[in-house]
């Protein structure tokens, strides 16, 4: 049994994990950097320990210091949250070597799924459909152009070991390829330390639909449903919901079957998310697997009644999936919006002091927040401030509750994307449930052409 | 004296000019990294880079001077 858990993360996800720990009677340890001394998560745990200066490399990515704090505080488990060290196999290996439970899958699986090429091969082996594509070991323009032509334009070029949308580039024809190639290579080298590229067919107007899976240490795997995360900007999600609107039962069934096949075949343990692209003909393509808890996990929690963090902890304790509970009431539909500190039109970041941060107390609205009024939003970390989850008896019900909530929100001192979220929720295409991953781009274009 | 200032707080990720370079209005001279995003900073006027006030890795606050032009 886990008795004391350290969260190697910050912000809303640390706070959210502490909440479940408190309910389960598990003691908690927060870690914080110089910039987070007064942060909400620092105050939300039983104990808080300083781990270094503001910059992530010296604090939230500082495995040595985090392990040292874990040992000092007597933590018997580490939850990595998402981002930071959550998908770092070296970190999880070191955690285990220190005799501490790592809440996540085995390192070898993390390694495989963290590499786009290896992940893709594993999926092909499991019989899961993938997007046509190839690895580019060569930086030779002509060879790259040849491969792109074989796959067929438009193509997407990205760093083979990349993530978070950084360094991803759509290319429509050869001339464009020649123009963008050096910068794509440079970004791959700068951000991911490798010039290895991956090129794949660009699926036009797809929906991003992902499946939440769990595997236990006894060979059992389950899919807990899907989430539609098509509303994205710069390949980062903004609005997520469960279930996916307008998805045929047949496609949903195939998606779950693929997800379970994928997780089962690799012997996955703990929580994971298998991301798919679904095109207008409902063809399903594997995109990637995230070997951790996902930012948008709350929408699955609200439609299943399962506390996913509780399941993660219990599975790490080697419990069987069949022995785990559905604890809460479940709803027909749930929507999550991510509140970002950014300009709602240009999407540029907006750090600064949160002079006002006020949201209405409403039924069926859940707040997973990492900030409070008066805190300084620093430029060192991700711009996501909070997630708001609306649950309802139908999709329309959830949308209406969310809109009502956001209309009453009062934030001052920094810019946020709330105006953009409200407009999206009220946009006909979104309301219809027809939004694809192109929605934001389309919406921004629509908006700027009106000005 | 002409100055290039930053529009927001962040880390200087790339300085794309050196002292003595001719820059034109609208040219990207520095790329800032703030909240995990690259923010290009452009020169507002034509000029020659007189002095760089920051280097790659420097932390800057909103309205800090990145370089002077003449």
Please tell me whether residues A174 and A243 are part of one structural domain: no
**Residue A117 domain flag:** no
Please tell me whether residues A196 and A84 are part of one structural domain: no
Choose among A348, A351, A383: nearest Cβ to B9. Answer: A351
Interface of B with A (CB under 8 A): 8-11, 34-37, 39
pLDDT at A373: 97
**Residue A167 domain flag:** yes
Q: Which helix (H) or strand (E) holds A283?
A: none
DSSP letters, A29-94, are: EEEEEGGGTT-HHHHSSSEEEEEE-SSGGGTTT-HHHHHHHHHHHT-SEEE--SSTTTT-HHHHHH
Please tell me whether residues A194 and A315 are part of one structural domain: no
pLDDT tens for A340-381 read 999 888 888 999 999 999 999 999 999 999 999 999 999 999
CB-CB neighbors (< 8 A) of A351 in chain B: 8-10, 34-35
Please tell me whether residues A320 and A437 are part of one structural domain: yes
CA–CA separation, A201 and A219 (whole Å): 34
Identify the CATH number of the domain in which residue A34 sits. 3.40.50.20
Q: How far is A266 from chain B (nearest CA, A)?
A: 32
pLDDT at A141: 85
Please tell me whether residues A41 and A173 are part of one structural domain: no
3-state secondary structure of A315: helix
Phi, psi at residue A265, to the nearest 5°?
A: -65, -35
3-state secondary structure of A14: helix
Looking at chain B, which residue has its C-alpha nearest residue A380? B35
Whether residue A349 and residue B10 make contact (CB cut-off 8 A), yes or no, is yes
Token digits of residue A84: 């930071």
Is beta strand A101-102 parallel, antiparallel or unpaired with respect to A77-79? Answer: parallel
- Residues composing chain B: 70
**Residue A320 domain flag:** yes
* Residues of A with catalytic function: 292
- pLDDT above 70 covers a percentage of chain B that reads 100
Domain stop point among A170, A201, A232: A201
Please tell me whether residues A140 and A192 are part of one structural domain: yes
Contact of A160 with A122, CB cutoff 8 Å = no
How many CB atoms lie under 10 A from the CB of residue A279? 15
Choose among A55, A164, A351: nearest Cβ to B34. Answer: A351
Q: Taking residues B4-29, report their average pLDDT.
A: 93
How many CB atoms lie under 10 A from the CB of residue A447? 13
Q: Greatest CA separation found in chain A?
A: 61
Domain stop point among A83, A103, A123: A103
Whether residue A348 and residue B39 make contact (CB cut-off 8 A), yes or no, is yes
Token digits of residue A199: 């090129």
Domain range for A263: 207-450
Please tell me whether residues A297 and A196 are part of one structural domain: no
CB-side exposure of A162: number of CA atoms within 13 Å? 27
Token digits of residue A92: 């999880």
Whether residue A383 and residue B37 make contact (CB cut-off 8 A), yes or no, is yes
Closest CA to A106 of A272, A273, A294: A272
CA–CA separation, A45 and A258 (whole Å): 38
Total number of domains constituting chain A:
3
Q: How far is B10 from chain A (nearest CA, A)?
A: 5
Please tell me whether residues A189 and A234 are part of one structural domain: no
CB-CB neighbors (< 8 A) of B10 in chain A: 349, 351, 379
3-state secondary structure of A7: strand
Global pTM value: 0.88
Strand-pairing partners, residue A290, are A273
CA–CA separation, A234 and A348 (whole Å): 11
pLDDT at A451: 47
Please tell me whether residues A242 and A360 are part of one structural domain: yes
**Residue A170 domain flag:** yes
**Residue A96 domain flag:** yes
- Per-residue burial over A246-257, b if 16 or more Cβ lie within 10 Å, else e, is ebeeebbebbbe
* Helix, strand, coil percentages, rounded to 5, for chain B: 0, 55, 45
Domain stop point among A149, A172, A201: A201
Whether residue B11 and residue A379 make contact (CB cut-off 8 A), yes or no, is yes
**Residue A197 domain flag:** yes
CA–CA separation, A141 and A182 (whole Å): 9
- pLDDT above 90 covers a percentage of chain A that reads 81
Identify the CATH number of the domain in which residue A139 sits. 3.30.1490.20
Q: How far is B34 from chain A (nearest CA, A)?
A: 5
Whether residue A379 and residue B8 make contact (CB cut-off 8 A), yes or no, is yes
What separation in angstroms does the CA of B49 have from each of A117, A120, A208, A237, B18?
44, 48, 46, 40, 7
Please tell me whether residues A82 and A150 are part of one structural domain: no
The ipTM assigned to this model is 0.77
Q: How far is A47 from chain B (nearest CA, A)?
A: 27
Looking at chain A, which residue has its C-alpha nearest residue B7? A350
> What is the interface size between A and B, counted as CB pairs within 8 Å?
35
Q: How far is B69 from chain A (nearest CA, A)?
A: 26
Please tell me whether residues A158 and A261 are part of one structural domain: no
Q: Taking residues B11-32, report their average pLDDT.
A: 94
Give which of B6, B36, B59 to mutate to test A binding, by max A Cβ within 10 Å.
B36
DSSP letters, A207-273, are: EEEEEEEEE-TTS-EEEEEEEEEEEEETTEEEEEEESPTT--HHHHHHHHHHHHHHHHHHT--EEEE
**Residue A116 domain flag:** no
Whether residue B36 and residue A164 make contact (CB cut-off 8 A), yes or no, is yes
Whether residue A349 and residue B39 make contact (CB cut-off 8 A), yes or no, is yes
Contact of A366 with A374, CB cutoff 8 Å = no
Residues of chain A under the 70 pLDDT cut: 138, 162-166, 445, 448-451
Please tell me whether residues A44 and A174 are part of one structural domain: no
CB-CB neighbors (< 8 A) of A342 in chain B: 35
**Residue A113 domain flag:** no
Handedness of CA A83, A89, A91, A93 (dihedral sign): positive
């Amino acid at each position: 049994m886990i008795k004391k858990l350290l969260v190697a993360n910050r912000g809303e996800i640390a706070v959210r994990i502490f909440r479940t720990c408190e309910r389960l009677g598990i003691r908690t340890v927060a870690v914080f950097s110089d910039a987070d001394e007064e942060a909400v998560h620092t105050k939300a745990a039983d104990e808080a320990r300083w781990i270094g200066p503001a910059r992530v490399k010296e604090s939230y990515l500082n495995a040595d210091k985090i392990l040292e704090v874990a040992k000092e505080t007597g933590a018997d488990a580490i939850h990595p949250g998402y981002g930071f060290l959550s998908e770092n196999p070296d970190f999880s290996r070191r955690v285990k070597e220190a005799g501490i439970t790592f809440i996540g899958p085995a390192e070898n699986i993390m390694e495989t799924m963290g590499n786009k090429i290896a992940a893709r091969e594993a999926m092909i082996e499991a019989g899961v459909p993938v997007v046509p594509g190839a690895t580019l070991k060569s930086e030779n323009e002509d060879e790259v152009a040849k491969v792109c032509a074989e796959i067929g334009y438009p193509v997407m070029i990205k760093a083979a070991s990349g993530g978070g949308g950084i360094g991803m580039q759509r290319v429509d024809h050869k001339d464009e390829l020649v123009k963008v190639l050096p910068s794509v290579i440079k970004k791959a080298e700068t951000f991911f330390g490798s010039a290895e590229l991956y090129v794949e067919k660009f699926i036009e107007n797809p929906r991003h639909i992902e499946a939440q899976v769990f595997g236990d240490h006894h060979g059992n795997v389950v899919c807990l449903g899907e989430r539609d995360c098509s509303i994205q900007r710069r390949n980062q999600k903004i609005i997520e919901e469960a279930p996916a609107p307008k998805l045929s039962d047949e496609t949903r069934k195939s998606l779950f079957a693929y997800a379970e096949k994928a997780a089962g075949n690799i012997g996955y343990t703990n929580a994971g998310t298998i991301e798919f692209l679904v095109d207008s003909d409902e063809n399903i393509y594997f995109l990637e697997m995230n070997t951790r808890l996902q930012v948008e996990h709350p929408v699955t929690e609200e439609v299943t009644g399962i506390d996913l963090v509780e399941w993660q902890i219990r599975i790490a304790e080697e419990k069987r999936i069949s022995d785990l509970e559905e604890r809460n009431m479940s709803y027909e539909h749930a929507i999550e919006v991510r509140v970002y500190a950014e300009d709602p039109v240009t999407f540029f970041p907006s750090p600064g002091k949160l002079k006002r941060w006020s949201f209405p107390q409403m039924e069926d609205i859940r707040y997973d927040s990492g900030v409070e009024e008066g805190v300084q939003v620093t430029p060192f970390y991700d711009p996501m401030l909070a997630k708001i989850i609306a649950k309802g008896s139908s999709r329309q019900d959830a949308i209406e509750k969310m809109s009502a909530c956001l209309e009453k929100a009062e934030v001052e001192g920094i810019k946020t994307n709330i105006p953009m979220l409200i407009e999206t929720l009220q946009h006909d295409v979104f309301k219809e449930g027809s939004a694809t991953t192109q929605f934001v781009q389309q919406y921004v274009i629509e908006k700027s052409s009106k000005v | 004296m002409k100055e290039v200032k930053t529009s927001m707080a962040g880390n200087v990720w790339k300085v794309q000019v050196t002292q003595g370079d001719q820059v034109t209005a609208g040219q990207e001279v520095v790329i800032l990294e703030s909240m995990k995003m690259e923010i290009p900073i452009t020169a507002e006027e034509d000029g020659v880079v007189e002095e760089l006030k920051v280097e790659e890795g420097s932390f800057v606050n909103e309205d800090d001077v990145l370089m002077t032009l003449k």
